[in-house]
Amino acid sequence: KAVLEDSSETDILWVHDYQLARVPHLIRQQRPSAKLLFFWHIPFPPVDLFRTLPWRRPLLESLLACDLIGFHVPDYARNFAETAVEILGARYEDETIHYAGRATRVLARPIGIDFAAIDREARSLRIEKRVQNLRQALGSGTLIVGVERMDYTKGIVERLRAVEYLLEHQPIWRGKFSLIQIVTPSRLDVEAYRQNKREIDETVGRVNGRFSDSTWIPIRYLHRSFSPSELIAYYRTADIALVTPLRDGLNLVAKEYAASRIHDDGVIILSEFAGAAHQLPEALITNPYGQEEMAATLELALKMPIAEQHWRMEAMRNRIKSQDIKWWANEFLGRINP
């Protein structure tokens, strides 16, 4: 109702994310000639999983009321197309799904960030001063940063256990690095999220209790909100970014870290189950479900020569710069006839 009241017949209407999956159907009912786009921000599951939903047909039919549907990576787009074919009997060819007299284009483009703004802020004098202060406060060892909101899909407990595994099995690294784990509070009125926080708190306490000494703490746990500028300072300061969600539609932390690395150095450890892994193959890709594998990947990052850091980070920064938020928006809006 709000969309229809605030738009005209000639406007392009772009609906975002799965919570609003039925909105295109409702708009199309009231405005048959509407120019409709949809972007699905989370992973789209394989057909065998999606078919378990009691509302599978109305959800799919609503999405196919759009002229164009976007996903982050080709895997999600392929899953959607296969689901439409198997459940609805739709026809799919040339990136287009044909169903009930409509043709819906399906496009995979990973959402970008405002690279120029982050790069500019990362070069500012206030960030430079903040980086110097952080370095002085946090010590001279290798600094690793993790930035997540409180969510059990982000794999925070799993990465903490990987750090514990590395310190236990490779004691040479004790005192050599610190993980700064930033966790933004989220949905703490939901029991699953409160339980996730308790598990994180307990794991941090156990790891620090086992391995800390009089001058070194392996994990610095910061549970509060940070401004974008504050995060950029941490991205600039940290030598390694640990981005290991159990499942993520894309993950912008990896991109923001790369955009902040104005000297083309640093290492990104990235979960293979984050959509960003398709776009950032130069990152060290790891399986967050395996402590041993993650610990081994962390050791590779700690040992990576600066020359290798440079070519990997330069490639990622160039790609993120060219495929920024403006590129992403134009990829969709530019395909809708005025």
> What is the full DSSP assignment across 179-201?
EEEEEE---TTSHHHHHHHHHHH
Residues 6 or more apart from 293 whose CB is under 8 A from it?
Answer: 286, 287
Q: What is the pLDDT at residue 338?
A: 59
- Torsional sign, CA 138, 158, 223, 184: positive
Give the separation between CA 206 and CA 202, rounded to whole angstroms: 6
Q: What is the pLDDT at residue 86?
A: 98
> Which residue, chain included where needed, has tokens 């001063």?
129
Query: Are β-strands 96-99 and 102-108 bridged in parallel, bridged antiparallel, or unpaired?
Result: antiparallel
Asked about 248 being catalytic, the answer comes back as yes
Give the separation between CA 120 and CA 108, rounded to whole angstroms: 29
Q: What is the CA radius of gyration of the chain?
A: 22
Q: How many residues are given for the chain? A: 338
> Which residue, chain included where needed, has tokens 């209790």?
209
Q: Could you tell me if 25 and 62 are in contact, meaning their C-beta atoms sit under 8 angstroms apart?
A: yes
> Which residue, chain included where needed, has tokens 């999220």?
193
Q: What is the pLDDT at residue 188?
A: 79
Give the separation between CA 89 and CA 212, rounded to whole angstroms: 60
**Closest residue by Cα to residue 180 from 250, 287, 279, 253:** 253
**pLDDT digit string (tens) for the chain, length 338 residues:** 999 999 999 999 999 999 999 999 999 999 999 999 999 999 999 999 999 999 999 999 999 999 999 999 999 999 999 999 999 999 999 999 999 999 999 999 999 999 999 999 999 999 999 999 999 999 889 999 999 998 889 999 999 999 999 999 999 999 999 999 999 988 878 888 889 999 999 999 999 999 999 999 999 999 999 999 999 999 999 999 999 999 999 999 999 999 999 999 999 999 999 999 999 999 999 999 999 999 999 999 999 999 999 999 999 999 999 999 999 999 999 998 75
Sheet of strand 177-184, all strands in order from the earlier edge strand to the far edge: 219-223, 177-184, 142-149, 240-243, 267-271, 284-286
Asked about 41 being catalytic, the answer comes back as yes
Give the separation between CA 249 and CA 275, rounded to whole angstroms: 5
Give the separation between CA 87 and CA 311, rounded to whole angstroms: 45
- Torsional sign, CA 221, 225, 231, 233: negative
Q: Find the catalytic residue in 119, 151, 239, 248.
A: 248
Q: Find the catalytic residue in 41, 98, 223, 278.
A: 41
